[in-house]
Amino acid sequence: MKNAIAMLLLALAAAPIAAQSVVEKTFAAGETLDYNVTWLGFTGAIARMTIAPAAGGGLRMTSIAASTSGFARVYKVRDEIESIVNARFSTVDYRKHLDERGRIKDDRTKVDEGRMVATRTRPGKKTQEIRVTSPVFDPLSLVYHLRRLDLSPGKVHRFTVLADGKVYTLVATVLKRETLQTPAGKFRCVTVEPKMQGTGLYGDDDESSLLISYSDDEFHIPVRIRSEVKVGTITATLRTIRSGVSGVEPPR
């Protein structure tokens, strides 16, 4: 009986490690995800998210969204985001380059882990220093970090997130299971709602919200990312999945 109990405890202990290792191996091998981005029912942009090992250790994540040629006549957008995390998946470098209708915003935050201070620089703005704790996440790295966790409905995860020169406490609640049909195929998914205690992290107003639907398997691929804002619903829906990273540019 004692041996049986010991074996059961070992099996339970090993289960989450095995599930997590699949995601870790995916990150180490590199991954490219392409999306169609729709707004008010129109496909107005395409996006690509990548993850791969970073030079010097850790992981590098990118997200690039660009308006389609047709939609660019109305509203031209090219947003580039890059996040680098260390071996503990804590952010060490976060960069944004936003070009929306010719209005450009550059924003970079680097974390000095020795001093636990984040330094934010923007052209024409005063350098800003922010005290942080470890681990700390940025909006992009958090999307990937959630893939490493237990996403059973009802689970609640809390994080410290650094964005736009502020430190937030974010609560991610796993809401429900659902099946989604996408250009990449049909997926059984689990939907997660990240909410911060305060406002302004994933949107510019109090009414914004974010829902991320991950594949309900060991890979936890972000199948759909949906943001509700005042001007409507913006949805990124998975189009293709590819192992490895040959480029961060979204396909035309």
What does the pLDDT read at residue 215?
98
Mean pLDDT, residues 26-35: 96
Residue 202 has pLDDT above 50, yes or no: no
User: What pLDDT is stored for residue 71 in this prediction?
Assistant: 57
Residues 137-158, mean pLDDT to the nearest whole number? 96
13: Cβ contacts below 8 Å, ≥ 6 apart:
none
SS3 label, residue 170 = strand
pLDDT at residue 106 tops 60: yes
Checking if the pLDDT of 19 tops 60, the result is no
The pTM of the full predicted model, rounded to 2 decimals, is 0.86
Nearest to 237, CA basis, from 189, 170, 172: 189
pLDDT band for position 44 (cuts 50, 70, 90): confident
Residue 184 has pLDDT above 50, yes or no: yes
The answer to whether 78 touches 99, Cβ cutoff 8 Å, is: yes
Segment 194-202 shows an average pLDDT of 65
DSSP annotation of 137? B
Q: Which pLDDT value is given to residue 72?
A: 53
For residues 44-58, give the mean pLDDT.
92
Domains of the chain: 16-243 (2.50.20)
Residue 117 has pLDDT above 80, yes or no: yes
Segment holding 24, helix H or strand E: helix 2-29
Provide the total of helices (H) and of strands (E) in the chain, helices listed first.
3, 14
Q: Residue 21: pLDDT band by 50, 70, 90 thresholds?
A: confident
Cα–Cα nearest to 111, from 131, 125, 87? 131
Whether the predicted pLDDT of 158 surpasses 70: yes
| pLDDT in the model for residue 11 | 35
Q: How far is CA 221 from each of CA 35, 109, 148, rounded to the nearest angstrom?
A: 12, 27, 10
- SS3 at position 72: helix
* pLDDT band of 12, cuts 50, 70, 90: very low
Please say whether the beta carbons of 235 and 37 come within 8 A: yes
